[in-house]
Amino acid sequence: MERVAGWFYDGRRFREGTIGWEDDVIVEVRNGRARNPIATGLIIPGLWNAHTHLGDAVVTQELTGTLEELVAPPHGLKHRILARAKDDAVIAAMRRAMATMLRTGTTGFTDFREGGLKGLKLLYAAVAPMPLRGVALGRPMGLDYDAREVSAILQTSDGIAVSSYVDWPGDEIRKLAAHVRREKKIFAVHCSERIREDIDKVLALSPSFLVHMLQATDADLNRCADAGVPIVVCPRSNAFFGMTPDIPRMIRSGVELRLGTDNAMINVPSILREIEFAYRVARMHGGVPARDIFEMALHGRQVADRHTSGAIRVGEQADLVVFDLPGGLNGFASLMRASASDVSLVVSGGRMWPSRSTTTPRTARRRRT
Ligand SMILES: [Zn+2]
């Protein structure tokens, strides 16, 4: 069994103790510090990036222009670049983004993957060697419903995610969403980012979650809360286009919030950076406790595992992040200021990152000489 020790998150607060895991499961949580832990510090469950477009990482140029000019399908800059990018370049860019996620304490992500079946294939190729859980949501090539295409995408993905309700003809998106529901997979959609959309029509699609909801009214947010449909907010992405989510208002509505980094060409997919920015943006609208922002960065995991407690407990997946940061009662505040250099160990599905095996060849080389 491997063990880490320090101040760990028990679902309500930070408490001092030792966490042990075998294979990919936490098997020991106890008070008191073990004698030889492999790392010590502030320990949290692996963070979950609830909204990415990792393929965009292939776009490296400085970005200018509006939301539509950069990301809207089918002619936005990202779609033009992705259409002509070489497969190997897209895979390498996505893998680099995944390494960034791991280094910054993220052990799982939910990706909106463009490019139909082929787009999914590239994502799987990128994630294969990485100790990361990815929820892959594919997207049809066009803005119309083709039953055969949708069946094929659903066979090789966790579901389907599309740009927005208003981009699609109403009948077509209703058929698409109904098909995804029949297959019991995830259907997700961006909503009310640039303009307010009709929330009743969007919720009638039975989405698993919505992304953005910047232009939502209080009534729209209440409708989401009543329907039990979570909202993923991506404050850095919004700020890039001159907007900010009113996180305190969203929390007051009772809707469940999750945190995502959105387009990888706009924001490096570090949830730590998103946490820091979300906390600041929330203060612009009155502020929320640090713990609320932290919870937003954990709850995205429920898309993959509905019954997860979001706490470090026996029986949970061995996804742990150890920070070299002050613990105790100030653990939540410490996390609002955390950066990649504060991460001393990431355990994802029981596998360690950086991988301990990477030191072996160097040692072996040294011995030979
Ligand atoms: Zn997005």
* Each residue's pLDDT expressed in tens, for the chain with a length of 369 residues: 999 999 999 999 999 999 999 999 999 999 999 889 999 999 999 999 999 999 999 999 999 999 999 998 888 999 999 999 999 999 999 999 999 999 999 999 999 999 999 999 999 999 999 999 999 999 999 999 999 999 999 999 999 999 999 999 999 999 999 999 999 999 999 999 999 999 999 999 999 999 999 999 999 999 999 999 999 999 999 999 999 999 999 999 999 999 999 999 999 999 999 999 999 999 999 999 999 999 999 999 999 988 888 999 999 999 999 999 987 879 999 999 999 999 999 999 999 987 655 444 433 344 433
CATH fold for domain 47-297 = TIM Barrel (3.20.20)
Taking Cα atoms as reference points, which of 142, 123, 141 lies closest to residue 133? 123
223-254 burial code (b ≥16 CB/10 A, e <16): bbbebebbbbbbbbbbbbbeebbbbbebbebe
Q: How far apart are the two ends of the chain, measured CA to CA in Å? A: 34
How far is ligand 1, taken at its centre, from the CA of residue 123, in Å?
16
Q: d(Cα 89, Cα 58) in Å, to the nearest integer?
A: 7
How far is ligand 1, taken at its centre, from the CA of residue 22, in Å?
36
How far is ligand 1, taken at its centre, from the CA of residue 113, in Å?
10
Is the CB of residue 332 less than 8 Å from the CB of residue 92? no
How far is ligand 1, taken at its centre, from the CA of residue 232, in Å?
10
- 344 alpha carbon, distance to own chain's centre: 21
How far is ligand 1, taken at its centre, from the CA of residue 97, in Å?
16
How far is ligand 1, taken at its centre, from the CA of residue 64, in Å?
17
Quickly count: other Cβ atoms within 10 Å of residue 260's Cβ.
30
Q: d(Cα 163, Cα 161) in Å, to the nearest integer?
A: 7
How far is ligand 1, taken at its centre, from the CA of residue 289, in Å?
26
Is the CB of residue 126 less than 8 Å from the CB of residue 136? no
How far is ligand 1, taken at its centre, from the CA of residue 112, in Å?
7
Residue 311, amino acid: A
How far is ligand 1, taken at its centre, from the CA of residue 266, in Å?
11
Taking Cα atoms as reference points, which of 65, 165, 73 lies closest to residue 119? 73
Q: What is the DSSP letter of 343?
A: E
pLDDT at position 73? 82
Angle between helices 147-155 and 170-182 (to 10 degrees): 40
Residue 239, amino acid: A
How far is ligand 1, taken at its centre, from the CA of residue 107, in Å?
19
Class of domain 2-46+307-355: mainly beta
pLDDT at position 24? 96
Give the residue extent of every domain in the chain.
Answer: 2-46+307-355, 47-297
Is the CB of residue 100 less than 8 Å from the CB of residue 78? no
Q: d(Cα 207, Cα 66) in Å, to the nearest integer?
A: 27
pLDDT at position 366? 41
For the chain, what is the largest distance between any 2 Cα atoms, rounded to a whole number of angstroms?
71
Taking Cα atoms as reference points, which of 188, 180, 131 lies closest to residue 152? 180
How far is ligand 1, taken at its centre, from the CA of residue 146, in Å?
23
Is the CB of residue 3 less than 8 Å from the CB of residue 312? no
Q: Which helix (H) or strand (E) holds 130?
A: none
Residue 240, amino acid: F
How far is ligand 1, taken at its centre, from the CA of residue 138, in Å?
13
Record the tokens describing residue 56, joined without a space. Answer: 């965009």
How far is ligand 1, taken at its centre, from the CA of residue 331, in Å?
30
- 171 alpha carbon, distance to own chain's centre: 30
pTM above 0.85, yes or no: yes
How far is ligand 1, taken at its centre, from the CA of residue 333, in Å?
28
Rg from Cα positions in the chain: 21
pLDDT at position 43? 98
How far is ligand 1, taken at its centre, from the CA of residue 356, in Å?
34
pLDDT at position 306? 87
How far is ligand 1, taken at its centre, from the CA of residue 290, in Å?
25
Q: Cβ contacts of residue 344 below 8 Å, gap of 6+?
A: 39, 41, 322, 323, 324
How far is ligand 1, taken at its centre, from the CA of residue 204, in Å?
21
How far is ligand 1, taken at its centre, from the CA of residue 211, in Å?
7
How far is ligand 1, taken at its centre, from the CA of residue 262, in Å?
5
